[in-house]
Amino acid sequence: MRILLVAYDNDSYIHWFPQGLAAIAAVLRQKKYEVEIYNQDQFHYPDEHLTEYLNKNKFDVIGIGVIAGYYQYRKLLKIAGAINKSKNRPFFIIGGHGPSPEPAFFLRKTQADAAVIGEGELTIVDLMEALEKKLPLHGIMGIAFTDGNKVIINERRPLIKDIDKEVPLPAYELFPINYYKLFKMPHAANNDFVLSVLSGRGCTFKCSFCYRMDKGFRPRSNENIIEEINLLKKNYGITYIIFSDELLMSSVARTVSMCEDFIKAKLGIKWCCNGRLNYAKPDILKIMKEAGCVFINYGIESLDDDVLKKMNKALTTRQIIKGIEATLAAGMSPAYNVIFGNIGDNRETLNKGVEFLVKYGDAAEMRTIRPVTPYPGSPLFDYAVEKGLLRDAENFYENKHVNSDLLAVNFTDLTDNEFHQCLLDANTRLIKDYFQKRLSGVLEQARKLYMERDVTFRGFRGV
């Protein structure tokens, strides 16, 4: 069977490496299926190009996965339209965090034949074998499929327990890594080559706005991670790793263990990760920096204890401030993710977030405040439906979630206009603060150049 996997264009100049697609490709190749990647991302093909490609090339199956974003949803509909127009339309499969909570809705909107629900590595193999042998799809765990005018949703598949054993390394050889490795992250030098790696799946916390609600955390072994990093260094010259897990800092013990093994292995790479501020203690941060960490992306969300409690963040403002101060003191940049519009939010809680970002922002990257979004699959989505603020997934995707920086559902006592005015005022202040700090940094460069004769100066550059 010939399988085409679509890496869609999200309008970025350099795209994030499609890890999920690469994992699916790897398991399919293990089973000796012929797999090809359609790189719309790299070449910015118009959607019509895919129709032409399918008309000229015969595939048995085509697959695409998306997350639950407004852009991704609309892009999926366009790509689905291009697939459905083709003369040689293959069996059409969708997957990812977007379709998984609401497979019936997504199947109806895309006219796809099947949706993979949740993790796809084991499910896709079972589905391919059934298609190859022309078997009924009713017994395949972890899928939904169309049967005439009906959508059948099968029993969900248990989570993969042993990632090392059951999921091979991504099929890097099928992808244009020399393109993806040009992706830039904070504190990546111009001569760094960057790629994302997954060190584990899941999260130990249960924030109300999160739609990735698989229970528990399943880490890969340190040895398996180091093997992959060494392969990326050797084959592609990668010097900077983005650990893309929901939460690499899932515990103190796990974080320390990884760092100790990175140091022993003499990896010699830069890396960044998603972290938890209640674990951001000086001794932990010290060993992270020693192991190569240069940037930690923190989910702060709010600077109000009551709002944090209502979103089930399991974090306090005291822990946030101590953790950020410890991270800065350790010589690493923190990312500051703050959202507004949670249950309990108001002008005062928003101002707390702005004051915090102005005080602690180091201008490593621009940070603005976005509205909270109740994605399908999250407890917050269920709450919005229960309270009559949303009808269903279709109401969310078609009418409410039109842009990540605009209000989808209003959980506050502010009117929608007042809400957006508050965000405009807050982000105007943050944007001005960011550029003022950048300006101060450039002026300091100029001073050192001329007054201290800084011979390391390499020119005033925008990038």
Indicate whether 384 pLDDT > 90: yes
d(C-alpha 242, C-alpha 186), whole Å: 10
- How does pLDDT run across 297-338, given as a tens digit for each residue? 999 999 999 999 999 999 999 999 999 999 999 999 999 999
User: Is residue 361 very low, low, confident or very high in pLDDT (cuts 50, 70, 90)?
Assistant: confident
- Does CATH number 1.10.10.1100 belong to domain 181-372+411-451? no
- What mean pLDDT is predicted for residues 8-31? 97
Phi, psi of 301 (to 5 degrees): 75, -50
Fill in the DSSP letter of residue 358.
H
- What mean pLDDT is predicted for residues 381-395? 97
14: nearest Cα among 155, 179, 208, 142: 179
Region of poorest pLDDT, from 5-19, 213-227, 332-346, 420-434: 213-227
Indicate whether 462 pLDDT > 90: no
Write down the pLDDT at residue 461: 76
User: Is residue 265 very low, low, confident or very high in pLDDT (cuts 50, 70, 90)?
Assistant: very high
d(C-alpha 330, C-alpha 308), whole Å: 26
- How does pLDDT run across 81-139, given as a tens digit for each residue? 999 999 999 999 999 999 999 999 999 999 999 999 999 999 999 999 999 999 999 99
Fill in the DSSP letter of residue 174.
G
d(C-alpha 96, C-alpha 217), whole Å: 18
Write down the pLDDT at residue 414: 98
Looking at 3.90.1170.40, 3.30.390.50, 3.40.50.280, 3.40.1280.10, the CATH number of the domain 2-153 comes to: 3.40.50.280
d(C-alpha 206, C-alpha 212), whole Å: 9
Indicate whether 21 pLDDT > 80: yes
Contact 306, 344 (CB under 8 A): yes
Q: Alpha helices of 376-415 — where are they, by DSSP H?
A: 379-386, 393-395
Mean pLDDT of the chain, nearest integer: 96
User: Is residue 213 very low, low, confident or very high in pLDDT (cuts 50, 70, 90)?
Assistant: low
Count of other CB atoms within 10 angstroms of residue 8? 23
| Residue 232 in tokens | 């990326």
- pTM over 0.85? The answer is yes
d(C-alpha 450, C-alpha 452), whole Å: 6
Count of other CB atoms within 10 angstroms of residue 177? 20
- Burial class of residue 271 in the structure, from the number of CB atoms within 10 Å of its CB (0-12 exposed, 13-18 middle, 19+ buried): buried
302: nearest Cα among 252, 239, 241, 371: 371
Please state the three-class secondary structure of 191-217 as a single string. Answer: CCCEEEECCEEECCCCCCCCCCCCCCE
Phi, psi of 387 (to 5 degrees): -90, 0
Fill in the DSSP letter of residue 148.
T
- How does pLDDT run across 157-212, given as a tens digit for each residue? 999 999 999 999 999 999 999 999 999 999 999 999 999 999 999 998 999 999 87
- Type of residue numbered 207: C
d(C-alpha 229, C-alpha 126), whole Å: 30
137: nearest Cα among 105, 115, 169: 115
2-153 and 181-372+411-451 share one fold: no
- Type of residue numbered 231: L
Residues 6 or more apart in contact with residue 122 via CB below 8 angstroms: 27, 142, 157, 160, 166
Phi-psi region for residue 64, left (φ > 0), alpha (ψ -120 to 50) or beta?
A: beta
Report CA-CA distances (Å) from 10 to 70, 73, 81, 96: 11, 11, 17, 15
User: Is residue 463 very low, low, confident or very high in pLDDT (cuts 50, 70, 90)?
Assistant: low
State the DSSP string of 236-279. Answer: H---EEEE-SS-S-S-HHHHHHHHHHHHHHT---EEEEEE-GGG
Contact 377, 97 (CB under 8 A): yes
User: Is residue 348 very low, low, confident or very high in pLDDT (cuts 50, 70, 90)?
Assistant: very high
Write down the pLDDT at residue 363: 84
The domain segmentation of the chain, as residue ranges, is 2-153, 181-372+411-451
Residues 6 or more apart in contact with residue 348 via CB below 8 angstroms: 304
d(C-alpha 179, C-alpha 184), whole Å: 12
User: Is residue 460 very low, low, confident or very high in pLDDT (cuts 50, 70, 90)?
Assistant: confident
Q: Alpha helices of 291-415 — where are they, by DSSP H?
A: 305-310, 317-329, 347-360, 379-386, 393-395
